[in-house]
Structure 1
């Protein structure tokens, strides 16, 4: 969810669903339903969706 996560790296994984979180680099925080800091994460993408 882009509202809660900031993807800083994409890793190509053939068996992964699109935009699956693989690793949390920095924890995010929510207080009273408001995002104070989004989590910084590494996400997996299937090979065919890599448009880089």
Structure 2
């Protein structure tokens, strides 16, 4: 086939939060929020 010169974009915006264990982890939520410039800053507190 031919190769297009279009910009590559990831298939998933937030790969690290695609599994159940990572989504339930407060630590992963905080790390992902930091890595993504707080776009995913909805962190669940353990209070």
Task: Give the shorter-chain TM-score range.
Answer: under 0.3
Structure ID, larger Rg: 2
Greater relative CO (CA pairs within 8 A, separation 6+): 1
Which structure: greater strand fraction? 1
